[in-house]
Amino acid sequence: MEFQSIERAPEAFQQPIAEEDITAICRRVFGAHVQVSSAVELGAGMYNNTYRVQVSGQEQPVVLRVAPPAAKQFRSERELMRNEYATVPWLTSIASLMPQVVAADWSHEVIDRDYLVQTLLDGVPAPDHLGSYPRTTWPHFFRQLGEIARQVHAIRGPRFGPVAGPGYATWAQALQASFADIAADVDSVGLDAADLRTIAALVGERSVVFDEVRVPRMLAGDLWTVNVMLDAHAAEPTITGVFDLDRTWWGDPAADWTMHMALAKPGTERDAFWDSYGPLERSAEASLRAFVYQARHIGAIRLERHRLGNAEGVAGTYDDMARVQASLG
């Protein structure tokens, strides 16, 4: 087997699996006698370990995604792969853009980690290809992203919270639970979570504002350029695939990471996102909710920066949160 694994420090969050583990997984999924001719680890993601694998008898390579060991997962990121798997039946409106699941294994009988085997999407990762186009064509890309987000947000769910559960009867309850998990994770790595708990308390005090959101809708959780594939040869940047929707949950579409990113650089090509998505609500209540959603994103960013060893970035999240709190009064 041609085996290529990314070398990482022993203390790094992401840790590869062994060559023999990949063989064992492929024989569990494709049959006891298959041969693996190549397994190449892909380095774009920062959570799961992902490999492009060529197996005998399979015309196309497959993608093997391996979750972090359970002991390394934060409470707020628990069993994300299982959450993605539970999401697939809800996403038929964008099924043509998504990889198909070949196999999912939570048994830990082969390796002591969850894993998914999926089809390989056509195209080129957007971060590697978008920059090859003139910036005058970029609005075309962001309009497509807005349309995909609109389709995802149109999906109604049975309750609030992560797609795989736990579920909550109200949006305020789901938000408070999310803040509680993020704050507990921040505590667990020795950082101060007081600002997160202050925001969570505000959600409880102003629950009537958050519970104006009565219909749980699908939030993609992590849909942006890093999780999109582009046609390699199209004259304009054309989306051919969407992947890694493992942070999905049911709630207010305005709380989605996609919306946070679309709003992040006004006056740029990103404004074209709203051409296809449509306008956001501009009421005082929506503004209050938006600041709280921003605080939740900052808490998640704090954890990710800590995981990546970015101490300066972690410190910056406290300044960002202070600005949000000032806006909330």
pLDDT of residue 197: 97
pLDDT of residue 45: 85
pLDDT of residue 57: 86
pLDDT of residue 44: 79
pTM of this prediction?
Answer: 0.95
Q: Are the C-beta atoms of 220 and 149 separated by less than 8 Å?
A: yes
Q: Which of 184, 204, 203 is CA-nearest to residue 194?
A: 184
pLDDT of residue 43: 87
pLDDT in tens, 136-193: 999 999 999 999 999 999 999 999 999 999 999 999 999 999 999 999 999 999 999 9
Alpha helix positions (H), the chain? 19-30, 80-87, 126-129, 138-153, 171-188, 194-205, 207-210, 257-263, 273-277, 284-307, 311-328
CB atoms within 10 A of CB 234: 15
Spatial neighbors of 227 by CB under 8 A, at least 6 apart, are: 242, 243, 244, 245
CA count, 13 A, side-chain hemisphere, 322 = 6
Amino acid of residue 63: V
What domains are defined for the chain?
A: 2-119 (3.30.200.20), 124-328 (3.90.1200.10)
Amino acid of residue 50: T
Q: Which residues of the chain have pLDDT under 70?
A: none
pLDDT of residue 329: 80
Q: Which neighbouring-strand residues pair with 228? A: 242
The two counts, helices (H) then strands (E), for the chain are 11, 12
pLDDT in tens, 284-314: 999 999 999 999 999 999 999 999 999 999 9
